Amino acid sequence: MAFSADELRVLRRALAIALHPAPLPDEDVQDCLRLAGAVDEAVGEAGRLRAFLLADLVRYRNALPGSLSGYLERLQDALAAGYDPRPEDLAALRALRGGAAAAALLERCQVLAERSVRARLAGRAVSATAPAPRSRLLALPGGRAAEPEKPKAPVVPARPAAPSERPAPKPSEVFPPRRRPVPPPQQRAAG
């Protein structure tokens, strides 16, 4: 993630204010909120890009063995971006391990998969101490949150709705029971 010079100035100011809280002018609060929005947008865009790359990887894996070089290239890119290889990836690489590139990538993926499993198992034991996911920036010390709150109007409970003049129809009124067709009377031929 890269910041522009203006965004770095706002970030530096926000960090200084976080260390030494002081009332903020509205302009600084708006700058911080815009920066937080830009960071949220960049994080969302990174998530969309990751989803696209993973879908592309799945398409290439499903087209194996005809897409061998494309699949290996996309898998290497995904691993570089922090992707944990899935069992489908390991199975595909085992089937392709006749090539040197696929065999080397299989070894790397097996190590990463084992490390990922160990981390998940260790994570279950310490899940209570895991940090909370990042939330949106809602207030800044000394910013708009420091302004005195206006008294809220009391909440008046809503009146129950008046019964309608016509009650809702019953299912038997909307969908009348089917009547069995009456067979036509047998006519006797005189003969």
The residue ranking higher by pLDDT, 2 or 159, is 2
Query: In 26-156, where does DSSP find H-type helix?
Result: 26-62, 68-80, 87-95, 100-125
Closest CA to 49 of 59, 57, 38: 57
Quickly state the pLDDT bin for 9 (edges 50, 70, 90): confident
Lowest mean pLDDT among 54-58, 108-112, 170-174: 170-174
Looking at residue 44, its pLDDT comes to 87
Looking at residue 149, its pLDDT comes to 55
Quote the CA–CA distance of 111 and 85 in Å, as a whole number: 10
Quote the CA–CA distance of 108 and 172 in Å, as a whole number: 67
Looking at residue 60, its pLDDT comes to 86
Looking at residue 128, its pLDDT comes to 45
Q: Report the amino acid identity of residue 95.
A: A
In this predicted model, what pLDDT tens digit does every residue of 16-33 receive, in sequence order? 878 878 787 888 888 888
Looking at residue 126, its pLDDT comes to 54
In this predicted model, what pLDDT tens digit does every residue of 35-92 receive, in sequence order? 888 888 888 888 888 888 888 888 888 888 777 888 888 888 888 888 888 888 888 8
In this predicted model, what pLDDT tens digit does every residue of 130-158 receive, in sequence order? 455 555 555 555 555 545 556 666 666 66
Angle of CA points 10, 50, 48, to nearest 5°: 65
Quickly state the pLDDT bin for 100 (edges 50, 70, 90): confident
Quote the CA–CA distance of 116 and 122 in Å, as a whole number: 10
Quickly state the pLDDT bin for 116 (edges 50, 70, 90): confident
Q: How many other CB atoms sit within 10 Å of the CB of residue 24?
A: 21
pTM beyond cutoff 0.85? no
pLDDT at 187 exceeding the cut of 50:
yes
Looking at residue 159, its pLDDT comes to 59
